[in-house]
Amino acid sequence: MNASPSQPHPAEWTETQDLLPSVERDLPAGRHQFHKEHMMAQIHDDLRSATRPAAPVVTPQRRNPFLRRAILLPAMACALAGAVVGGLALAGGNGDGKTPLATGPALTTTIGAADAKGAPQLLDRISLAAADTSGPTAHDGQFIYVASKVASTYPKTVDDKTTVVSQELHSRQAWVSVDGLDGWLIEAGETSDKGMTLESKVPLGGAYDQLVKLPTDPDTLLRQIYKESDAVRDHEVPRDQAAFVAIGDLLTESYPPADVAAALYKAAAKIPGVVAVDDAVDAEGRHGIAIARQDNTGDRTEWIFDKKSLRLLGERVVVVKPGADSEFKAGTVIFTSAITERAVVDAKKQTPGGTAS
C-alpha cells in the first residue's frame, strides 16, 4: 500500500508506539466480521460498551462506511447476532483476555484512476480465470478456513482532541463449517488468543452448502442478490452498493466453488457504478488491479487482484471524496485486508497441513 513517507505501513508499527489501553474505539463494523462479523464486531463492541463503566475517552460517531453486510438468506442476518452472543459467552463476555492493538498514524494511499468502461472487460477476464481455477470440494463435517491480515482506521478522541489513527496490521483466522452452523474466529485485538465461537442455530452467511446452491446464471444470480439484500440492508444504503458488497463478502471470507465465483464476477459486471482501478495495494503491500464501487459517502470499496494471474488478493476501502464534516481526508484507507490462505480442513481450529488445537 502506498503509505506516505511519514506514515509507516501497519506491519512496521510496534507496541512501543503511542498506545492507550483505556481508549475505546468504534472501528468500521464490517471487518470485525465474518460477514457479519463485519457486522458481528460492531454488535460485539456495542454489547461490551453496555456492560463496562464509561471511559474518559469518547470516539466520535461516523456513519459506518461499511454496509450492514447483505446476506443472501434473510435468516442469516439474525444468525450473526446470535453467533456474537454465543461468542461472548465463551470468550469471556466483556472482552477480558484480549491484547490491545498498537495504533499509528492514519494509513493513506494514492487513489487509483477509475475506468467505468474497462470494468466489464476486466470482470470478464477475472471470471474466466476463476472458472479455470480448481475450486474447493468440501464435505459434511469439514470447515472452510480463511486466513487474512487486516487493519482499520478510525477517529480517536482524548481530552477533547480528535486524531485519526490506524491499527497495526494483524492476523485474522476464521473457520466456518460446511453447513454454516459451527465455526471459530481468532483475531488479534478483537478476540482472546484462543478465539471465540461462531456456533449458531441457523446457518452463517456464505456457508459452503449455501454457495453451491446459488444459480450460476449471472442474471438470475444478480436478481437473487438484489432481492435478498433489499430484505436486510440499511435503508440509507443504496441497493446497488448493497449488492456489490454482498458479492464481495461471498468472494473474500468464503470459498465459493469455481463456477459460482465466475458467476459472481459476471453478476458484479452488471451493477451500475462498478469501475476498474488501474492500481491498488492490499494489506501486505501487494500491488494489483481492482474492481471497485464508490458509495454515496465518497468511500470506495475495492476488490484487489493480481495483475497477471487475476487471483483475488484482498480488499480495501479508500476515502475518495470526503464529506464536508468528515474526519478522514481523501486517500485515507479506512479498511485493508490481504487473503493469505484459504482451504478446506477437517476440524475447527485446524490449519492446513496441521492438527486441530
Distance from C-alpha of 192 to C-alpha of 208, rounded to nearest angstrom: 26
Q: Of all helices (H) and strands (E), which one includes residue 43?
A: helix 37-51
Q: Residue 316's closest CA among 84, 10, 81?
A: 10
Tell how many helices (H) and how many strands (E) occur in the chain: 7, 12
Task: Provide the pLDDT for residue 80.
Answer: 29
Q: Residue 162's closest CA among 332, 326, 330?
A: 326
Where along the chain do its domains lie? 10-345
Q: pLDDT, tens digit, for every residue of 50-61?
A: 333 333 333 333
| 239 Cβ neighbours under 8 A, 6+ residues apart | 226, 229, 230, 233
Q: How confident is the model at residue 97 (pLDDT cuts 50, 70, 90)?
A: low
**Chain-centre distance for alpha carbon 197:** 18
The region, left, alpha or beta by phi > 0 then psi within -120 to 50, assigned to residue 291 is beta
Q: What is the mean pLDDT of the chain?
A: 77
Q: pLDDT, tens digit, for every residue of 214-240?
A: 999 999 999 999 998 888 888 888 999
Contact yes or no for 8/103 (Cβ under 8 A): no
Contact yes or no for 13/102 (Cβ under 8 A): yes
Distance from C-alpha of 37 to C-alpha of 88, rounded to nearest angstrom: 13
Q: What is the pTM of this model?
A: 0.76
Provide the residue type at 171 as one letter.
S
Q: In terms of pLDDT, which residue wins out, 203 or 31?
A: 203
Q: pLDDT, tens digit, for every residue of 236-265?
A: 889 999 999 999 999 988 999 999 999 999
Task: Provide the pLDDT for residue 350.
Answer: 96
Please report where in the chains the cell 444468525 appears, as a residue. 79
Cα-based distances in Å from 184 to 35, 197, 200, 202, 357: 13, 5, 11, 15, 12
Q: pLDDT, tens digit, for every residue of 304-350?
A: 999 999 999 999 999 999 988 889 999 999 999 999 999 999 999 99
pLDDT score of 213 more than 50:
yes
Contact yes or no for 253/33 (Cβ under 8 A): yes
Distance from C-alpha of 194 to C-alpha of 175, rounded to nearest angstrom: 13
pLDDT score of 190 more than 60:
yes
Task: Provide the pLDDT for residue 235.
Answer: 80
Joined grid coordinates for residue 238: 443504496
Distance from C-alpha of 255 to C-alpha of 206, rounded to nearest angstrom: 8
Q: Percent of the chain scored above 90 by pLDDT?
A: 58
Task: Provide the pLDDT for residue 237.
Answer: 87
Please report where in the chains the cell 499509528 appears, as a residue. 104
